[in-house]
Amino acid sequence: MAGNIDNRDKILGILKEKSSLKQDVFHTTINVFNDFKKVIKEMVDDFKTESAKIDKRIAIDFVDKSEYEMHLKVAGDIMVFSMHTNVFEFDKSHPITKTSYIKNNVYNSYCGVINVYNFLSDSFKYNRINDVGYLIGRIFINKELHYYVEGKRQIGLRHNDFVNVQIDKAIIKDIIESLILYCLEFDLYTPPFESVGQISVMEIQEASNNVLIKTGKRLGFQFMAEDDGSK
C-alpha cells in the first residue's frame, strides 16, 4: 500500500531541518563541555598551588568521570557538571523567544544543556547514597554558541544576554568562578529538629557505613524559596 506522499515529504523535511539541527547543537554543546573541562583543569592547577600555601588540608581536584560528566572538588564541596545528551527548545513563554533573534529563526532557540549540581564531598567519600545535591546552574548553548545561564543569586544575572554574546573560554572561567563562590558561601545548615526526630533501628545499625542517614546543605528547608535572593 502506497504511503501518503505529503506525509513522506513532511518527514523528510523534518529530518533535513530539525534532526540535522539537533545534531549540530549536540556537537556544539559537547565542544563547549570539553572547553569547560580544559578550563577547570587549568583552574585546579592554579588553585592547588595557592591553596597549599593557605592550608595543605584543603582539597581541590578535578575528576573526568565520562564524556558527559565531570566533578570539581573544592574543599568540602563537589560540583557535578553533567551534559544532557538531548537537545531542548525554550518554552514559548520564555522571554528569549520574544527576541528578534529567535523570531527571525526559531531554530536558534534549540539548545544543549549543561547542568551543575552541588553536593557535599563527604557524600561521595563515604558513599552516602541517600544524600542530596542541589541544582545551582544550567547553561544553555545553541548551534551558534549563543548561551544563557540560569542559576542561583547572581550567577544567572551575569550571563543572560542570549541574543548578543557567544560563549568562550573567558566566559566559561567566569561562570565556573561564580559557581565556586556560590558553593563556598552556601553553607551546611543543621536540619530542623522535627525532621530528624526519629530514626529506625536499621538506620542506626547502618550508620557506621554512612549510607542511610541523609545529609544535604538545606535538608528540611525550602531551598528554592530561601536562596533566590542576592546576598
Tens digits of pLDDT across the chain (231 residues): 455 668 887 888 777 778 889 999 999 999 999 999 999 999 999 988 887 777 888 889 999 999 999 999 998 899 999 999 999 999 889 999 999 999 999 999 999 999 999 999 988 888 888 788 889 999 999 999 999 999 877 777 889 999 999 999 999 999 999 999 998 887 655 555 565 555 666 665 666 555 445 565 554 444 444 455 433
Instruction: Give me the pLDDT at residue 197, please.
Output: 59
- 17-53 CB burial, b ≥16 within 10 A, e <16: eeeebbebbbebbbebbebbbebbeebbeebeeebee
> Tell me, what amino acid is at 116?
V
Rounded to two decimals, the pTM is 0.81
Distances (CA, A) of 142 to 36, 118, 151, 163, 171: 16, 25, 18, 11, 15
End-to-end CA distance of the chain: 67
Instruction: Give me the pLDDT at residue 230, please.
Output: 39
Cell numbers placing 130: 541517600
Instruction: Give me the pLDDT at residue 61, please.
Output: 94
Instruction: Give me the pLDDT at residue 216, please.
Output: 54
User: Which residue ranges make up each domain of the chain?
Assistant: 13-226
Backbone angles phi, psi at 224, to 5 degrees: -60, -45
Strands (E), 91-212: 110-120, 134-141, 147-151
Cell numbers placing 41: 583543569
In sequence order, which ranges of the chain are alpha helices (DSSP H)? 5-14, 20-54, 100-103, 121-125, 169-185, 201-206, 223-226
